[in-house]
């Protein structure tokens, strides 16, 4: 059995519609006119006559303005969150210092309310039930 040829040796010329030469001439004329147009940007006016040196300096901090909790006012200069220490906060008011220290002595029992939830206050009765296994895990 012989070999079957699928493709002919000569490629067929592309069929062109009547008037294609006129269309091609119009397109080439348009392309030439577009390419000859300038972008409107002049490069000669953009080049500076003298070189401008860029000066990089540290930020200017106005000491008269107070920013609560900013890293500019904390000792050490690295922290961004203020530390709430009652000895520092109430150094001028001994009564408030005493009240604050008493309030910090109290401890409350907390446990997660649900899976991936925040802690909630657990009463003594609830704690007894939880430790005895009478309730579902919260």
Q: Is the pLDDT of residue 49 over 80?
A: no
> In this predicted structure, what is the pLDDT of residue 98?
92
For residue 116, give its domain range. Answer: 107-138
The number of distinct structural domains making up the chain is 1
- What pLDDT score does 39 carry? 66
* Joined tokens for residue 10: 């000569």
Where would I find the beta strands (DSSP E) of 5-113? 110-112
52 lies in some domain:
no
Asked whether residue 137 carries a pLDDT value surpassing 70, the answer given is no
- Tell me, yes or no, whether 12 lies in a domain: no
Q: Is 113 inside any structural domain? A: yes
Residue 115 lies in a domain: yes
Residue 35 lies in a domain: no
Per the domain annotation, does 130 fall within a domain? Answer: yes
| Residue of 68 and 81 predicted with greater confidence | 81
> Is the confidence at residue 100, as pLDDT, over 80?
yes
Q: Average pLDDT of 101-108? A: 86
Q: Is 137 exposed, middle or buried (0-12, 13-18, 19+ CB in 10 A)?
A: exposed
Mean pLDDT, the chain, as a whole number? 75
Asked, for residue 81, whether it belongs to a domain, the answer is no
Is residue 100 in a domain?
no
């Amino acid at each position: 059995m012989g070999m079957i040829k699928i493709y002919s040796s000569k490629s067929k010329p592309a069929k062109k519609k009547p008037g294609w030469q006129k269309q091609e001439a119009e397109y080439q004329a348009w392309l030439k006119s577009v390419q000859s147009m300038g972008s409107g940007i002049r490069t000669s006016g953009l080049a500076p006559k003298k070189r401008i040196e860029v000066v990089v300096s540290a930020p200017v901090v106005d000491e008269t303005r107070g920013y609560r909790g900013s890293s500019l006012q904390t000792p050490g200069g690295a922290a961004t969150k203020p530390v709430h220490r009652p000895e520092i906060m109430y150094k001028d008011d001994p009564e408030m210092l005493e009240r604050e220290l008493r309030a910090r002595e109290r401890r409350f029992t907390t446990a997660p309310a649900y899976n991936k939830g925040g802690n909630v206050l657990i009463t003594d009765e609830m704690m007894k039930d939880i430790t005895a296994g009478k309730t579902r895990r919260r």
